[in-house]
Chains A and B, each alone.
Chain A
Amino acid sequence: MNVALAVDLAVNGLITGLFYALMAIGLSLIFGILRIVNFAHGEFYMVGAYAYTLIALAVGLPVWISLPVAFLVGAAFGWTTERLLMRPLYAGYTSWGLMRDEYAVIVTFGLSLFLINLVDKVIGPYAYRGPTLVDVSRITLGPILISGHRLTAAIIAIVVIAITAALMKWSFWGKQIRAVAQNRLGASLAGIDTARASSIVFMLSGGLAAFAGALLSPVINASPDVGAFPAIKSYIIVVLGGMGSVPGSIIASLALGVIESFGAVYLSYDYRDAFGLGLLMLFLLFRPQGLFGEKGREV
């Protein structure tokens, strides 16, 4: 095996994994708190890609402002989703009553279709190429050749992920969220505002996903269904890493990035997206709690 190639593949895989992590952390938190999967997660990514691209190109703001704005737009979408569609779930107002999981699947699935088709109609089905953060197209780091934008994006991603992980571990709200994830009823009895925690988690999730969409928009251009693939990747990662575990999601993201990177070259380029899917099915069948998650009890 060519060492230079291996290093290049590994580093690129890790960088891809960083972007996956931005997507997966939020989804994992949502599952930890609400025990549901948000099937509209990919659309938060899409919204971020569009927000960044359109604000930078159409409105003309500099990229360094457009980026955080994209985050905020994603957070706003996340907040709205939780407030209008998810909040009633726990208050018991939905007409589905006990079939909570199924309600979440259908409602977020519908939301996903709604957003995709809305953007398709209002903005148009054509792809928009987002502006790069840095205009240097080729940087050489040892054996690795990488674009300026990708390197910058990777660094930003590391910073954001680190801040998020730190907040989750040490901040007041981070601890509250983890308490709710462990035991919702107990947490609310202890005085924790579980509704607030859910809100924050959805906002964070939407913001991070949008951020990922924005960072990747120069490469994966903004189009209505651009979020579908990132979403599937994040579902895979959340299961692999253990639903509800942020460190698990980060590790699984990096791992998946590397696996896909090597797999595309040494196994099959066409089926590079299938590795993750295959892993997902295996894990769901034999180890649904993932690498770091907890096993639930039934009776």
Chain B
Amino acid sequence: MSNQSASGSGEVAKPSSSKLSTAKTEIEFRVALIVLAIVALIPAIVSNPYWLGVMVVSMYFAILAGAWNLLAGYTGQFSLAPATFAMIGAYSTGLLGTYFGVPPLLGILAAILVAGLIGLVLGRIVLRLKGPYLALTTLSFAEILRLIASNSINITRGDLGLGVPGLFSSRIGWYYLFLGVLAVLLIALYALLRSKAGLFLQAIRDDEVAAARSGVDVVFWKSAAFALSAAASGFAGALYAHFAELVTPELGLIGQTGLIVSMTVIGGIGTLVGPIVGAFLVYVLSEWLRDVGGYQLVVFALLVIIFARFFRDGLWGIARFIMRRRRPA
């Protein structure tokens, strides 16, 4: 295939960094499934409940990272409130259970709806905001909610935490529940991206004005991305609440958002597999190295800076680059 442009102006276009984007997404999907398959097999080798717990928390983060990736990586809306929606979901199921006796399953369902609804409202509110303005608004939203949760001691018991019933007696149950949810959400995201929604969201990310000109209902799709991302985060938060059997405002700390952002950026933002790989890598490593000296957070933060500066596609991008180099085509 000649690389000469049609005009004959002599300009040579660089080799494509993206094949047909559906093909790219398909490869990412397959690799992500393989990763999840490996994760599914791990309990056969590892039975230590501590490490199984670490894996569960990693999956919690993988869902949050994936949800944030949908909003930021695919739609271009860099919200700094992903952890907040997890917290909203956790408190939804916690408060409903504590004060209204709602059983956990219904509580989790309610959490998805509540988080999604609040996400929709927030999304509508911040429609016209871009870049730093969007980040600042979502940041203040995050902090206000965390303050409210922390200070409403009469209702939430503040930093002491709200007790929440568990679902399983063994870690294994939680392991496969989280894995199942993660897999389902991955498949749903893949389906979304392959549909026209995927086209519209990325168009909005690249150029909102051009998208509107082409007939894309920008208001609808931006709000939808916010709502879906928030709902998924709320889902994860509610599950985590029943896993940890405790809900505290710490779930919504900016530091948690920092982790989520780091995981996504390191793994590869705007890719299907990046957030998952990033979450496992960052969380498992940080637990593992915790005993060895604990500089892991420093290193991860440094990686975020370096990756943002030089490797937008994160580890996944590096992996793809190596794969392409090895193939002679």
Query: Could you list which residues of chain A lie within 8 angstroms of chain B, going by C-beta atoms?
Result: 31, 35-37, 39, 85, 88, 94-96, 99-107, 109-114, 117-118, 120-121, 228, 232, 235-236, 239, 270-271, 273-274, 277-278, 280-281, 284-285, 288, 298-299
Q: Mark each residue of chain B from 291 to 325: 1 if its CB lies under 8 Å from any CB of chain A, else 0.
A: 00011011011101100111111000000000000
Given pairs A101-B130, A114-B298, 13 additional interface contacts (CB within 8 A) = A31-B132, A95-B309, A102-B72, A104-B131, A105-B131, A109-B261, A110-B301, A113-B262, A113-B304, A114-B304, A235-B139, A270-B147, A284-B126
**CB-based closest 8 A-B pairs:** A101-B131, A110-B304, A114-B301, A37-B132, A113-B301, A95-B312, A117-B297, A110-B305
Query: Could you list which residues of chain B lie within 8 angstroms of chain A, going by C-beta atoms?
Result: 72, 76, 78, 80, 125-126, 129-133, 135-137, 139-141, 143-144, 147-148, 151, 209, 254, 258, 261-262, 265, 294-295, 297-298, 300-302, 304-305, 308-313
Is chain B's interface secondary structure helix, strand, loop, or mixed overall? helix
Chain B nearest CB, measured from A153 CB (Å): 26
Interface centre among B135, B141, B297 (most CB of A within 10 A): B135
Residues of chain A with a CB closer than 8 A to B254's CB: 228
Whether A274 lies near B301 (C-beta < 8 A) is no
Residues of chain B with a CB closer than 8 A to A298's CB: 209
Whether B132 lies near A104 (C-beta < 8 A) is yes
Whether A232 lies near B139 (C-beta < 8 A) is yes
State in angstroms the CA–CA spacing of A21 and B294 once bound together. 36
Residues of chain A with a CB closer than 8 A to B294's CB: 121
Whether B131 lies near A117 (C-beta < 8 A) is no
Whether A280 lies near B137 (C-beta < 8 A) is yes
Closest to B207 in A: A98
Chain A nearest CB, measured from B236 CB (Å): 21
Whether A106 lies near B304 (C-beta < 8 A) is yes
Known: A102-B131, A105-B132, A106-B78. A85 touches B309 (CB 8 A): yes
Residues of chain A with a CB closer than 8 A to B147's CB: 270-271, 273-274, 277
Q: List 16 A-B contacts (CB under 8 A).
A: A85-B309, A95-B310, A102-B72, A105-B131, A107-B304, A109-B80, A109-B304, A114-B298, A117-B297, A232-B140, A270-B147, A277-B140, A277-B143, A277-B147, A285-B137, A288-B129
Known: A101-B131, A114-B302, A117-B298. A106 touches B136 (CB 8 A): no
Chain B nearest CB, measured from A50 CB (Å): 16
Chain B nearest CB, measured from A208 CB (Å): 20
Known: A36-B132, A278-B144. A117 touches B309 (CB 8 A): no
Whether A121 lies near B308 (C-beta < 8 A) is no
Whether B76 lies near A37 (C-beta < 8 A) is no
Residues of chain A with a CB closer than 8 A to B310's CB: 94-95
Interface centre among A102, A104, A114, A271 (most CB of B within 10 A): A102
Q: B135, B295, B301: which contacts A105 (Cβ < 8 A)? A: B135
Residues of chain A with a CB closer than 8 A to B137's CB: 280-281, 284-285
Residues of chain A with a CB closer than 8 A to B125's CB: 285
Whether A94 lies near B297 (C-beta < 8 A) is no
Chain B nearest CB, measured from A103 CB (Å): 6
Interface centre among B72, B125, B137 (most CB of A within 10 A): B137
Whether B305 lies near A102 (C-beta < 8 A) is no
State in angstroms the CA–CA spacing of A228 and B311 once bound together. 28
Chain B nearest CB, measured from A254 CB (Å): 20
Whether A281 lies near B132 (C-beta < 8 A) is no
Interface centre among B78, B209, B262, B308 (most CB of A within 10 A): B308
Closest to A269 in B: B151
Residues of chain B with a CB closer than 8 A to A121's CB: 294-295, 297-298
Whether B308 lies near A106 (C-beta < 8 A) is yes
Whether A96 lies near B132 (C-beta < 8 A) is no
Residues of chain A with a CB closer than 8 A to B143's CB: 232, 273, 277
Chain A nearest CB, measured from B212 CB (Å): 10
Q: B129, B258, B261: which contacts A284 (Cβ < 8 A)? A: B129
Chain A nearest CB, measured from B121 CB (Å): 12
Whether A109 lies near B76 (C-beta < 8 A) is no
State in angstroms the CA–CA spacing of A24 and B140 once bound together. 17
State in angstroms the CA–CA spacing of A109 and B257 once bound together. 10
Q: A99, A110, A232, A278: which contacts B262 (Cβ < 8 A)? A: A110
Residues of chain B with a CB closer than 8 A to A103's CB: 308
Closest to B73 in A: A102
Q: B135, B141, B305: which contacts A107 (Cβ < 8 A)? A: B305
State in angstroms the CA–CA spacing of A100 and B76 once bound together. 11
Whether B144 lies near A110 (C-beta < 8 A) is no
Q: B131, B295, B309: which contacts A94 (Cβ < 8 A)? A: B309
Chain B nearest CB, measured from A217 CB (Å): 22
